[in-house]
């Protein structure tokens, strides 16, 4: 008689799957906290500016929308740091990790300076988009100031990606907490505090932008100093000879071009929605910024789980463990689906109290609250596409997902948002209806791509 329980393999697979969920969750929690801390910088800027003036909030919102395109392109160009480091760490090529970090930091500085120079034409860009002259000038000034902080921000990004790929998210979290405390103090001084009242240089949106820029340079320097002083820094070669630097640079760029393109396309699509809101009126753009801040806060969960998923997929590939790679990808998707479902329920139940964190203006609240109801419906799909993109990044699959993002966000989300907002007459809630269409399609396409990748062997880059 056959005494083998046919369910035993399934129990083994289930146990391994939830072990992957646990491992991803363990890394995702501090990563999410660190990423949320960086977003809190902007949320505090938005809230403190909004309480000073709705018009200053509009300046900051439009300036920040285009700034985010620049920053996310830069971040995308650097994400290869985590891919290369995690795969090298999994393959026990620890000496490669420090070289990868230093090459990434050099790329971060070059990218940051490039975007700082590009921002000088910000006001002209907003005028081309049909914004009124005063709004274009105010947003352009905010954009210039914010982009001056990009070199520091991107150096910090490269550094924490390196640390996270080694399973060390703690230092990034500590630095981020410090940054937020400093940012609140600087906002108070520069937005409507003592310095703003005696100076013609800072106030309102510009003051908030200067506070964030100063903080970003500080955190970049702190991250570099920490890595250079790590006790086991020599083991990871963070200071010695940069062997194979040119080769690593080429690999980083080959990953960075499509990832930067994907990040840029996604952020450009969302920036387009903010510009559409600007055409609906000053109050609409301020209200839409409030909604996007809350959506972005929820999305930090996807950033954390997506980063953890990418790291664990990369580690599995470095160890040549295909089964673990596949389970890590689907475990990440399961984790974010549960997390985003909880957040969606909270947003749907408490839209008013959440919106009042940022403004007490009754006109802005009347626009933001119904928009938040629609935003709640987008959260699960938005989180899913973010984590699936992380799983594919960890596997080194970058070009096809970037094309899928291009299609879902630029060719579906943006036209749908414009259609719902203007042609159908739904206004600001219509912008989020278009967002739902784009992120849902992206999650379906990326899930199909990961399923395809999981059926084929994946080699280390």
- The pLDDT score that the predictor gives to residue 81 is 92
CA distance 164 to 300: 16
Q: What is the Rg, in whole angstroms, of the alpha carbon atoms belonging to the chain? A: 22
Q: Give me the mean pLDDT over the 43-55 stretch.
A: 79
Helical H segments across 53-132, by residue range: 54-78, 80-90, 94-118, 122-128
User: In sequence order, what DSSP letters do the residues of 255-310 get, joined into one string?
Assistant: HHHHHHHHHHHHHHHHHHHHHHHHHH-HHHHHHHHHHHHHHHHHHHHHHHHHHHHH
- The pLDDT score that the predictor gives to residue 55 is 80
- The pLDDT confidence band at residue 68, using thresholds 50, 70 and 90, is confident
CA distances for 190 relative to 56, 65, 245, 391, 438, angstroms: 13, 21, 42, 41, 38
Residue 3 has pLDDT above 70, yes or no: no
- The pLDDT score that the predictor gives to residue 360 is 85
**164-213 tens-digit pLDDT:** 889 898 899 899 999 999 999 998 888 875 665 555 555 678 888 999 99
- The pLDDT score that the predictor gives to residue 461 is 65
Structure tokens at 249: 């640079």
Q: Give me the mean pLDDT over the 249-272 stretch.
A: 84
Return the closest-CA partner of residue 84 out of 290, 268, 255, 299. Answer: 255
pLDDT higher at 37 or 328: 328
Question: Burial letters for 17-35: b for 16+ Cβ neighbours within 10 Å, e otherwise?
Answer: beebbebbbebbbbbbbbb
Return the closest-CA partner of residue 142 out of 62, 39, 40. Answer: 62
- The pLDDT confidence band at residue 42, using thresholds 50, 70 and 90, is confident
Give the single-character DSSP code of 198: H
By mean pLDDT, which of 37-51, 217-231, 419-433 is the weakest?
A: 37-51
- The pLDDT score that the predictor gives to residue 429 is 95
pLDDT higher at 382 or 271: 382
Return the closest-CA partner of residue 293 out of 126, 61, 74. Answer: 61
- The pLDDT confidence band at residue 5, using thresholds 50, 70 and 90, is very low
CA distance 36 to 16: 29
pTM of the model as a whole: 0.78
pLDDT higher at 207 or 382: 382
- The pLDDT score that the predictor gives to residue 8 is 39
**299-310 tens-digit pLDDT:** 989 988 998 999
């Amino acid at each position: 008689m056959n005494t083998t329980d046919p369910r035993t393999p399934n129990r083994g697979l289930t146990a391994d799957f939830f072990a992957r969920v646990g491992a991803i969750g363990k890394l995702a929690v501090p990563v999410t906290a660190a990423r949320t801390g960086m977003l809190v910088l902007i949320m505090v800027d938005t809230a403190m500016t909004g309480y000073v003036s709705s018009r200053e909030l509009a300046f900051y919102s439009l300036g920040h929308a285009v700034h985010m395109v620049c920053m996310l392109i830069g971040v995308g160009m650097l994400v290869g740091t985590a891919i290369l480091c995690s795969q090298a760490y999994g393959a026990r090529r620890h000496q490669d990790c420090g070289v990868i970090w230093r090459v990434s930091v050099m790329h971060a500085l070059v990218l940051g300076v490039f975007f700082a120079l590009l921002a000088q034409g910000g006001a002209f860009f907003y005028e081309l988009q049909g914004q009124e002259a005063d709004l274009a000038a105010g947003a352009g000034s905010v954009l210039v100031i914010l982009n001056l902080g990009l070199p520091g921000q991107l150096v910090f990004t490269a550094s924490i990606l390196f640390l996270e790929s080694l399973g060390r998210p703690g230092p990034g979290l500590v630095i981020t907490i410090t940054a937020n405390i400093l940012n609140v103090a600087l906002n108070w001084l520069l937005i409507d505090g003592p310095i703003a009242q005696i100076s013609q240089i800072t106030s309102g949106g510009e003051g908030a932008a200067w506070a964030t820029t100063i903080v970003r340079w500080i955190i970049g320097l702190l991250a570099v100093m920490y890595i250079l002083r790590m006790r086991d820094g020599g083991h990871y070669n963070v200071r010695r000879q940069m062997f194979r630097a040119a080769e690593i640079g080429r690999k980083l760029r080959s990953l960075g071009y499509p990832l930067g393109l994907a990040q840029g396309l996604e952020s450009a699509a969302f920036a387009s929605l903010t510009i559409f809101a600007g055409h609906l009126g000053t109050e609409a753009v301020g209200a839409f910024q409030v909604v996007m801040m809350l959506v972005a806060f929820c999305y930090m969960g996807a950033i954390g789980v997506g980063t953890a998923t990418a790291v664990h997929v990369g580690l599995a590939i470095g160890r040549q463990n295909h089964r673990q790679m596949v389970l890590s990808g689907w475990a990440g998707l399961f984790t974010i689906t549960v997390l985003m479902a909880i957040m969606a329920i909270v947003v749907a139940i408490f839209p008013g109290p959440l919106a009042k964190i940022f403004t007490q203006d009754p006109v802005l609240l009347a626009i933001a609250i119904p928009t938040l109801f629609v935003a709640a419906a987008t959260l699960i799909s938005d989180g899913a596409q973010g984590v699936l993109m992380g799983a594919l990044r960890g596997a080194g699959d970058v070009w096809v997902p970037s094309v899928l993002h291009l299609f879902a966000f630029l060719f579906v989300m943006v036209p749908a948002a414009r259609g719902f907002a203007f042609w159908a007459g739904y206004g600001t809630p219509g912008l989020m209806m278009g967002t739902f269409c784009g992120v849902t399609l992206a999650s379906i396409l990326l899930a199909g791509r990961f399923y395809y990748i999981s059926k084929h062997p994946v080699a280390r880059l």
